Amino acid sequence: MVYYTISGIRLPCVPSVHHNSSSHRNSSSVAGNASTALSFPLKKHSLSRKIVAGSSSYDSEASTTATSGKVLVPGGDSSFTTNVLVPGAKPPSSTDQLETSDIVSEDPKVLREVPESSSMVGDTSTEVLDEQEKIAVLPDTREKTDKRTVPPPGAGQRIYDIDPILSSFRQHLDYRYSQYKRMRADIDKFEGGLEKFSRGYEKFGFIRSETGITYREWAPGATRAALIGDFNNWNPNADVMARDEFGVWEIFLPNNADGSSPIPHGSRVKIRMDTPSGLKDSIPAWIKFAVQAPGEIPYNGIYYDPPEEEKYVFKHPQPKKPKSLRIYESHVGMSSTEPKINTYANFRDEMLPRIKKLGYNAVQIMAIQEHSYYASFGYHVTNFFAPSSRFGTPDDLKSLIDKAHELGLLVLMDIVHSHASNNTLDGLNMFDGTDSHYFHSGSRGHHWMWDSRLFNYGSWEVVRYLLSNARWWLDEFKFDGFRFDGVTSMMYTHHGLQMTFTGNYNEYFGFATDVDAVVYLMLVNDMIHGLFPEAVSIGEDVSGMPTFCVPIQDGGVGFDYRLHMAIADKWIELLQKRDEDWRMGDIIHTLTNRRWLEKCISYAESHDQALVGDKTIAFWLMDKDMYDFMALDRPATPLIDRGIALHKMIRLITMALGGEGYLNFMGNEFGHPEWIDFPRGDQHLPNGKVVPGNNNSFDKCRRRFDLGDAEYLRYHGLQEFDRAMHHLEGTYGFMTDIHQYISRKDEGDRVIVFERGNLVFVFNFHWNNSYSDYRIGCHKSGKYKIVLDSDDALFGGFDRLDHNAEYFTFEGWYDDRPRSIMVYAPARTAVVYALVEDKPESAPLKIETTSTLVDDNEPEPEPEDAPEAAAEDDAASELVQS
540 is catalytic: yes
DSSP state of 789: E
> Which one of 305, 435, 485, 792 is the catalytic residue?
485
Task: Give the H/E segment covering residue 273.
Answer: strand 268-275
How buried is residue 469: exposed, middle or buried, by Cβ count under 10 Å (0-12/13-18/19+)?
Answer: buried
Query: Is the four-CA dihedral 749, 755, 760, 765 of positive or negative sign?
Result: negative
Q: Say which of 514, 540, 554, 720 is annotated catalytic.
A: 540
Half-sphere exposure of 44 (CA within 13 A, CB side): 1
Provide the 8-state DSSP code for 568: H
* Chain centroid, CA 830 distance in Å: 31
CA–CA dist 350, 343 (Å, integer): 10
Q: Give every CB contact of residue 482 below 8 A, 6+ residues apart in sequence.
A: 412, 413, 414, 415, 470, 473, 528, 535, 536, 537, 538
Say how far apart CA 343 and CA 612 lie, in whole Å.
Answer: 23
Whole-Å CA distances, 112 to 135, 460, 582, 750: 5, 10, 60, 65
Per-residue DSSP letters for 75-138? T-----PPPPB-TTPPPPPTTT--S---S--SS-EEE---PPPP-STT--------TTS--EEE
The H or E element that residue 476 is part of is helix 460-476
- Cα 327 to Cα 145, 324, 481, 669, 832: the distances in Å are 34, 10, 12, 12, 22
How far is residue 514's CA from residue 504's CA, in Å, rounded to a whole number?
Answer: 17
Q: Helix (H, G, I), strand (E, B), or coil: what is residue 522?
A: helix
Residue pair 440/456 in contact (Cβ under 8 Å)? The answer is yes
Number of neighbouring beta carbons within 10 Å of residue 23: 12
Q: Is 485 tagged catalytic?
A: yes
Distance in angstroms (rounded) separating the CA atoms of residues 596 and 519: 22
Catalogue the active-site residues.
Answer: 485, 540
